[in-house]
């Protein structure tokens, strides 16, 4: 493999090849790697222009995810965003730390951030690091600032445009789901709150021991909906029929994942899909995801869960990450016979 010697200056020191040699022997991926017989072409596809409750219903119940085509996000916008993300991530690590601060915040090692934007360490062991770096971009704050740096300002304005498209898609998809689930309109309005929308731009780093590390470990998203653009490198997998299935990159398509909040508000009719991201020995991967949540204080009422708000869910998740090292998520709120007694 020929690598540009300066290239690893852009990596957080922990992930530079000479730094990681001594982690090789320790630990391995703990999640089962049995892969699905399903062909990755079996990922369901929804045409945004033809979306109807009856097309979405079965897919949301059985898969909790789908590929979205005909979404109307200009291909040129996706290309430009990818190019800018690549340019910014290629800066020296120290420059990224200095330049990319709140509200467009640079982080690395885990996608789990606290409310104040710190990475939540999930235990003392370096094996728990995810092989990624990212930018956390709260959309509500993107219209209120103007960067002096021209590259950053162009990126900000492209992200704002991308965020507007993603918000348009999320509203339309959620409205169609709300029709399928027969939500009364006021409930539907509190369960999807566009001002909570955030973007996550990730660069998954080249990893010399790709077989032993994860880009992101298996998880479900906490969101109502997540909409992901991935480049052509690949690595995203979803869990279906007890096996892992590759979600093959297909140019200019998006991946929609249903999150935990969607599962809860649908009273478990829909599922929050388990997924993970593999890393690559020779290539970096860029993805740009949008995540949207319920209104913070909207009480989620259903027969399967104790009434709770997204704020309760987030607080519980932060505690579990700190104390148990993993997100427990919905089971914390589910009514079990034990809870009922
Ligand atoms: O990068 C991806 O394709 C998925 C990212 C993801 O699962 C997440 O941020 O929750
Ligand atoms: Fe995810």
pLDDT of residue 18: 72
Nearest CA to 137 among 109, 166, 95, 173?
Answer: 166
> Which ligand 1 atom sits nearest the alpha carbon of residue 235?
3
- Collect all residues with Cβ–Cβ distance below 8 Å to 80 and sequence separation of at least 6: 158
Which strands, in side-by-side order, build the sheet including 225-230?
45-47, 65-69, 254-258, 225-230, 285-293, 193-204, 132-138, 105-108
Q: Is 277 in the pocket of ligand 1 (CB under 6 A)?
A: yes
pLDDT of residue 144: 86
CA of 209 to the centre of ligand 2 (A): 22
Confidence of residue 1 (pLDDT cuts 50, 70, 90): very low
Confidence of residue 274 (pLDDT cuts 50, 70, 90): very high
Please provide residue 68's backbone torsions phi and psi, each rounded to the nearest 5 degrees: -110, 125
Ligand index nearest the alpha carbon of residue 237: 1
Query: Candidates 136, 216, 245, 246: which one to mutate for ligand 1, based on the most atoms within 8 Å of Cβ?
Result: 216
Please provide residue 65's backbone torsions phi and psi, each rounded to the nearest 5 degrees: -165, 160
Average pLDDT in the 17-43 region?
Answer: 62
Tell me whether residue 14 is exposed, middle or buried, using C-beta atoms within 10 angstroms of its C-beta: 0 to 12, 13 to 18, 19 or more.
middle
> Which ligand 1 atom sits nearest the alpha carbon of residue 111?
9
Using the predicted structure, report yes or no on whether residue 24 has a pLDDT greater than 70: no
Confidence of residue 338 (pLDDT cuts 50, 70, 90): low
Q: Are 293 and 261 in contact (CB under 8 A)?
A: yes
**DSSP labels, 246-274:** E----TT-EEEEE-HHHHHHTTTSS-PPP
Task: Kindly report the protein residue whose alpha carbon is nearest to atom 1 of ligand 1.
Answer: 287
CA of 290 to the centre of ligand 2 (A): 10
Using the predicted structure, report yes or no on whether residue 14 has a pLDDT greater than 50: yes
CA of 30 to the centre of ligand 2 (A): 18
Nearest CA to 200 among 148, 163, 175, 236?
Answer: 163
According to DSSP, residue 225 is labeled E
pLDDT of residue 25: 39
Q: Are 139 and 198 in contact (CB under 8 A)?
A: yes
Distance (Å, whole) CA 322 – CA 316? 10
CA of 25 to the centre of ligand 2 (A): 28
Condensed to tens digits (0 to 9), the pLDDT of residues 105-154 reads 999 999 988 887 888 766 545 567 899 999 999 999 999 899 999 999 99
pLDDT of residue 19: 67
> Which ligand 1 atom sits nearest the alpha carbon of residue 230?
3
Nearest CA to 35 among 220, 217, 241, 228?
Answer: 241
Q: Is 222 in the pocket of ligand 1 (CB under 6 A)?
A: no
Using the predicted structure, report yes or no on whether residue 56 has a pLDDT greater than 50: yes
The gap between the terminal CA atoms of the chain, to the nearest Å, is 61
Query: Containing H/E element for 95?
Result: helix 93-99
Question: Which superfamily, per CATH, for 5-340?
Answer: B-lactam Antibiotic, Isopenicillin N Synthase; Chain (2.60.120.330)
| Tokens at 220, concatenated | 């479900």
Can you say how many angstroms the Cα of residue 116 is from the centroid of all Cα atoms in its chain? 18
Higher-confidence residue of 215 and 125: namely 215
Q: Are 165 and 72 in contact (CB under 8 A)?
A: yes
Q: Are 248 and 41 in contact (CB under 8 A)?
A: yes
């Amino acid at each position: 493999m020929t690598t540009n010697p300066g290239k690893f200056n852009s990596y957080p020191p922990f992930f530079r090849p000479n730094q990681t040699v001594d982690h090789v022997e320790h630990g391995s991926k703990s999640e089962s790697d049995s892969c699905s017989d399903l062909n990755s072409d079996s990922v369901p596809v929804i045409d945004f222009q033809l979306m109807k409750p009856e097309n979405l219903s079965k897919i949301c119940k059985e898969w909790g995810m789908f590929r979205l085509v005909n979404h109307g996000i200009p291909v040129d916008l996706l290309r430009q965003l990818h190019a800018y993300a690549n340019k910014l991530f290629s800066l020296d690590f120290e420059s990224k730390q200095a330049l990319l601060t709140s509200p467009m915040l640079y982080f690395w090692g885990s996608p789990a951030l606290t409310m104040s934007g710190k990475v939540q360490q999930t235990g003392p062991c370096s094996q728990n690091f995810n092989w990624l770096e990212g930018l956390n971009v709260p959309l509500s704050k993107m219209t209120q600032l103007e960067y002096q740096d021209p590259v950053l300002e162009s990126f900000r304005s492209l992200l704002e445009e991308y965020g507007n498209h993603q918000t348009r898609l999320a509203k339309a998809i959620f409205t169609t789901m709300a029709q399928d689930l027969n939500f009364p309109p006021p409930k539907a309005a509190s369960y999807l709150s566009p001002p909570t929308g955030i973007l996550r731009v990730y660069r998954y780093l080249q990893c010399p021991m790709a077989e032993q590390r994860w880009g992101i470990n298996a998880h479900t998203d906490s969101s109502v909906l997540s909409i992901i653009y991935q480049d052509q490198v690949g690595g995203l997998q979803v869990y279906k029929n007890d096996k892992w299935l590759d979600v093959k990159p297909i140019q200019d398509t998006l991946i929609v994942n249903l999150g935990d909040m969607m599962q809860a508000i649908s009273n478990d009719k829909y599922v929050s899909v388990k997924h993970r991201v593999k890393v690559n020995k020779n290539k970096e991967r860029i993805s740009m995801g949008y995540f949207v949540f319920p209104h913070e204080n909207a009480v989620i009422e259903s027969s399967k869960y104790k009434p709770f708000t997204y704020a309760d869910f987030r607080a519980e998740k932060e505690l579990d990450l700190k104390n148990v090292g993993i997100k427990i998520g919905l089971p914390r709120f589910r009514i079990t016979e034990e809870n009922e007694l």
